[in-house]
């Protein structure tokens, strides 16, 4: 007499992962915008770009001079802020950061309008600014 083995269906496994991912991402969107932005930029009525990264992250290091250039180029039109994920863990959690670097674009009313995970070059960032109406 053979015993029937119970196997865990791959479909159920992926469904479980999808549900966990879905609910974990809702945490960031349920946070108020004031909890998701640094206090020093939350009250500035301009579009914002928050870049979440770390000093030891190679793509983050490559983005730093790009963000500095863009900060000077868009001065008075966009606020660009680099967030060190290991130093500002509360802000990192509030925004549901899972990969660094992650860039989050907010409109002037502090509503998230775009999110990108991974390295983002200067041209890509400028395209997002254009879509946001920043000239």
Name the superfamily (CATH) of residues 12-131: Glutaredoxin (3.40.30.10)
Specify the pTM. Answer: 0.76
Q: In the chain, where are the structural domains located?
A: 12-131
Q: In 3-state terms, what secondary structure has residue 113?
A: strand
DSSP structural state of residue 31: S
Coil vs helix vs strand at 132: coil
In the prediction, which pLDDT does 135 show? 86
Task: Judge if the upstream peptide bond of residue 102 is cis by omega within 30 degrees of 0.
Answer: no
At 27 the pLDDT is: 46
Active site residues: 57, 60
Residue 14's pLDDT is 57
Tokens, residue 122:
């200067």
| Helix residue spans in 31-121 (DSSP H) | 33-36, 39-42, 58-73, 89-94
Rounded to whole angstroms, the Cα distance separating 13 from 46 reads 43
Q: By three-state DSSP, how is residue 115 classified?
A: strand
Q: Per-block average pLDDT, block size 10, for the chain (135 residues)?
A: 60 58 50 82 96 96 97 97 96 96 97 97 97 93
Asked if 26 and 66 touch (Cβ cutoff 8 Å), the reply is: no
User: Residue 34 has which token pair?
Assistant: 């004031």
């Amino acid at each position: 007499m053979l015993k029937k083995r119970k196997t865990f269906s791959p479909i159920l496994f992926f469904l479980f992962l999808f549900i966990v991912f879905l609910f974990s991402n809702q945490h960031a969107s349920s946070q108020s915008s004031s909890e998701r932005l640094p206090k020093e930029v939350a009250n500035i009525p301009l579009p914002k770009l928050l870049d979440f990264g770390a000093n030891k992250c190679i793509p983050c290091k490559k983005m730093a001079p790009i963000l500095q250039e863009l900060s000077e180029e868009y001065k008075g039109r966009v606020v660009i802020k680099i967030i060190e994920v290991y130093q500002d863990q509360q802000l990192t959690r509030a925004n549901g950061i899972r990969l660094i670097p992650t860039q989050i674009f907010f409109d002037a009313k502090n509503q998230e309008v775009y999110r990108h995970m991974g390295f983002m070059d200067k041209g890509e960032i400028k395209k997002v600014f254009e879509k946001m109406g920043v000239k």
